[in-house]
């Protein structure tokens, strides 16, 4: 798997139902956008190992419960898979950002506002919105799996410019 850019994306949901969202400025797309913690596999990581590492690095969060939400191929031209997880029973700590991630800002949002942000065009990449919709519609009780199930296979538009202000939960 090391030669294929597989990735994991995580919906981290705290005990109050708030979702960890990251934001960063993307000048090539004309503004600041939201995204979920996640990233590419390193070396021979499994989808779950990648998810655990990325959640710790980007959000400073560890999770005792992992629920696989599914996986998809972002383009037919690539063999890469993006694995989606729901992480619950969280322990919060400091972010461990790399230099390329230094401007990532972590905020916590109620699920309904995170979903509204999707509809308002505040996400650039498809994995985040898909993972949010799957987590919101999950019938699994607050994360019942360990995540090991997935290890086997594995120009700014008007809507963005005019988006209303949504209020994340203040964690400071």
Give a yes or no: residue 36 inside a domain: yes
The DSSP code for 28 is: G
Q: Give the burial class of 137: count Cβ atoms within 10 A of its Cβ; 0-12 exposed, 13-18 middle, 19 or more buried.
A: exposed
Tracing tokens 């607050």 back to the chain, one arrives at: 142
How many degrees, rounded to 5, is the angle at CA 172 between CA 163 and CA 56?
A: 85
What is the per-residue pLDDT across 109-167, written as a single tens digit (0 to 9) for each?
999 999 999 999 999 889 999 999 999 987 544 444 444 433 333 333 333 333 445 55
pLDDT at site 168: 65
Q: Give the burial class of 25: count Cβ atoms within 10 A of its Cβ; 0-12 exposed, 13-18 middle, 19 or more buried.
A: exposed
In Å, how far are 42, 63, 128 from 154, measured between CA atoms? 15, 21, 19
pLDDT at site 170: 63
User: 150 is in which domain, residue-wise?
Assistant: 7-161
Q: What is the CATH number of the domain that holds 38?
A: 3.90.79.10
Longest dimension (CA), the chain: 44
**Is residue 105 scored above 90 in pLDDT?**
yes
Residue 64's nearest CA partner among 84, 92, 94, 89 is 89
Contacts 24+ apart (CB under 8 A), 79-82: 79/4, 80/4, 80/5, 80/6, 80/7, 81/6, 81/7, 81/47, 81/154, 82/6, 82/7, 82/8, 82/9, 82/127
- From CA 73, how far away is CA 58, in angstroms rounded? 23
Give a yes or no: residue 2 inside a domain: no
Give a yes or no: residue 135 inside a domain: yes
pLDDT at site 148: 40
Give a yes or no: residue 167 inside a domain: no
Tally of domains within the chain: 1
Residues forming a β-bridge with 24: 33
What is the per-residue pLDDT across 48-90, written as a single tens digit (0 to 9) for each?
999 999 999 999 999 999 999 999 998 899 889 999 999 999 9
What is the per-residue pLDDT across 4-50, written as a single tens digit (0 to 9) for each?
689 999 999 999 999 999 999 988 998 899 999 999 999 999 999 99
Give a yes or no: residue 77 inside a domain: yes
């Amino acid at each position: 798997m090391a030669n294929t850019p597989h990735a994991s994306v995580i919906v981290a949901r705290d005990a109050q139902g708030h979702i960890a969202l990251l934001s960063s400025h993307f000048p090539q797309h004309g503004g600041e956008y939201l995204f979920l913690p996640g990233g590419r596999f390193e070396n021979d990581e499994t989808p779950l190992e990648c998810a655990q590492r990325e959640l710790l690095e980007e959000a400073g969060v560890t999770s005792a419960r992992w629920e696989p939400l599914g996986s998809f191929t972002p383009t037919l031209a690539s063999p890469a898979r993006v694995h989606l997880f729901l992480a619950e029973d969280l322990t919060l700590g400091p972010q461990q950002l790399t230099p390329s991630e230094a401007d990532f800002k972590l905020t916590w949002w109620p699920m309904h506002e995170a979903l509204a942000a999707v509809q308002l065009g505040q996400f650039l990449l498809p994995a985040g919105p898909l993972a949010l919709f799957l987590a919101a519609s999950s019938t699994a009780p607050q994360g019942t799996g360990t995540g090991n199930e997935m290890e086997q296979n594995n120009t700014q538009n008007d809507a963005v410019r005019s988006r209303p202000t949504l209020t994340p939960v203040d964690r400071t």
